[in-house]
Amino acid sequence: MFAPTVASLLLLSASAAVKASPCVAFDINWNLLAFGLDGKDWFTGTQDTWSGSGQATDITTTSRPTFDGTNTTCYLSQFTNAIYVLNGDSKNPSSIYIYDATAKSWSTQAVTLGSFDTTSFDAILDHDTNVFYALSHGNLFSLDMGSLKAANSTPVVWTDVEQAPYPSNYQPVMALAQNHVHFLDVPGVPAGSADIFVIHYSYFQPQSQAYPLPDGSTFPATYGRATSFFQDSGVQQEFAFIPQDSSAVYVINVETNTTQKLAGPTIKDPKTTYFASTNSLVQLSSNGTVSFLSYQEGNTSANAAASWSIVKPLLTSAPPSTSSASASGTKTASGISSSGTSSGSTSGALTASPIYAGLVLTALLGAMVYVL
């Protein structure tokens, strides 16, 4: 029973310090999943359990990606209850890793890249068609995941759809709502507006769409992160935009064409990533701290009053690395996992993303446990 775990940890130890690039996502029952956090994958339950004293459940298993890629991103396929991981493994940057959240198993989908550059893109997964749309080097690409919840032997293909009508220096910020891909921070588009690609007609809408706040103010025209709030069923209708300075969270509703301004995250870290469910916006910061903002669709007073909290079970089970020492950029193991038996351990190299996880030490501990 221990053998595969020990074997995989020892394998990891062979590559010395491994750059960790975790991501968070939800399954279709809105259980929070954290992948590659402190070197492991975690099931964290629904929002009502995140403030309690419980632990996250270790769901690390075979065939998972190493979560050492650059800018790893995760997407929920709601029809299949699968999580798709892009850039999950630095050795296989083209592969898409699929986590079947029902079977709790991993598989690796082969991908035909064509001219798609896995090191420079932003992407959304369309809810209704299960097709990825990505903007990379000024071109729109698509990749059809069909109804995959486990890898198929036929490679899936990144197709170059067309050149986007945006300046070539545009660093994409993309979100999905109502089968429309929203592009934020497009050069020349005023604050408070987004440009739109209509998926069903494969059509770049020539005019921008304004999403004003009730007081007439606007979300800023700036780089940031965006992620869609899911519905229990059906297509997303709202997405969160978090400017890189973390000053606020803007929730854009594409039904009413309005924006609500909510509390900015407590941890102001430009390298954080976000993922939303129906009732939570979750932040993964670059040292592995996972926080959330409670959200109620349509309840503006509750949302305006909401504040950020730590997801406590993850804090307990996969504590964030402290950032006391600084990275020296060597190949030595620079982080020490403080899960398991060691307590009060410190680790360096965590002043900035990507995280260096203490997989070597973990491997040694694992091996010792196995031997004992």
Ligand X SMILES: *[C@@H]1O[C@H](CO)[C@@H](O)[C@H](O)[C@H]1NC(C)=O
DSSP class per residue in 79-108: TTTEEEEES--TT-TT-EEEEETTTTEEEE
Q: Which is nearer to ligand X, 119 or 330 (CB)?
A: 119
Q: How far is CA 13 from CA 233, 349, 360, 367, in A?
A: 42, 17, 5, 11
Burial class (CB in 10 A: 0-12, 13-18, 19+), 74: buried
Three-point CA angle 257, 263, 266, nearest 5°: 140
Q: Does 209 bind ligand X (CB under 6 A)?
A: yes
Q: Does 323 bind ligand X (CB under 6 A)?
A: yes
Q: Which is nearer to ligand X, 254 or 333 (CB)?
A: 254
Contact window for ligand X (CB under 6 A) among 293-301, 307-315, 331-339, 357-365:
293-301
Q: Which two tokens stand for residue 106?
A: 């991993």
Per rule CB under 6 A, count of chain residues that contact ligand X: 19
Q: Does 342 bind ligand X (CB under 6 A)?
A: no
The least distance separating ligand X from the CB of residue 104, rounded to whole angstroms, comes to 29
Contact window for ligand X (CB under 6 A) among 16-24, 100-108, 142-150, 297-305:
297-305
Q: Which is nearer to ligand X, 278 or 322 (CB)?
A: 322
Contact window for ligand X (CB under 6 A) among 140-148, 155-163, 298-306, 309-317:
298-306
Residue 50 dihedral angles phi and psi, to the nearest 5°:
-80, -15
Spatial distance between the Cα atoms of 7 and 154, rounded to a whole number of angstroms: 30
With CB under 6 A as the contact rule, the residue among 269, 278, 315, 345 that binds ligand X is: 269
Q: Does 287 bind ligand X (CB under 6 A)?
A: yes
Q: In terms of residues, how long is the chain?
A: 372
Q: Does 272 bind ligand X (CB under 6 A)?
A: no
Q: Does 338 bind ligand X (CB under 6 A)?
A: no
Q: Does 346 bind ligand X (CB under 6 A)?
A: no
Q: Does 267 bind ligand X (CB under 6 A)?
A: yes
Three-point CA angle 114, 119, 124, nearest 5°: 80
Spatial distance between the Cα atoms of 358 and 337, rounded to a whole number of angstroms: 5
Q: Tokens 């398991």 — which residue?
A: 340
Q: Does 302 bind ligand X (CB under 6 A)?
A: yes
Q: Does 320 bind ligand X (CB under 6 A)?
A: yes
Question: Distance between alpha carbon 300 and the CA centroid of its chain, in Å?
Answer: 26
Q: Does 51 bind ligand X (CB under 6 A)?
A: no
Burial class (CB in 10 A: 0-12, 13-18, 19+), 7: middle
Amino acid type, 109: Q
The least distance separating ligand X from the CB of residue 330, rounded to whole angstroms, comes to 21
Contact window for ligand X (CB under 6 A) among 27-35, 135-143, 276-284, 317-325:
317-325
Q: Does 334 bind ligand X (CB under 6 A)?
A: no
With CB under 6 A as the contact rule, the residue among 112, 115, 119, 168 that binds ligand X is: 119
- Tell me which residues touch ligand X (CB under 6 A): 70-71, 119-120, 209, 256-257, 267, 269, 285, 287, 289, 296, 299, 301-302, 320, 322-323
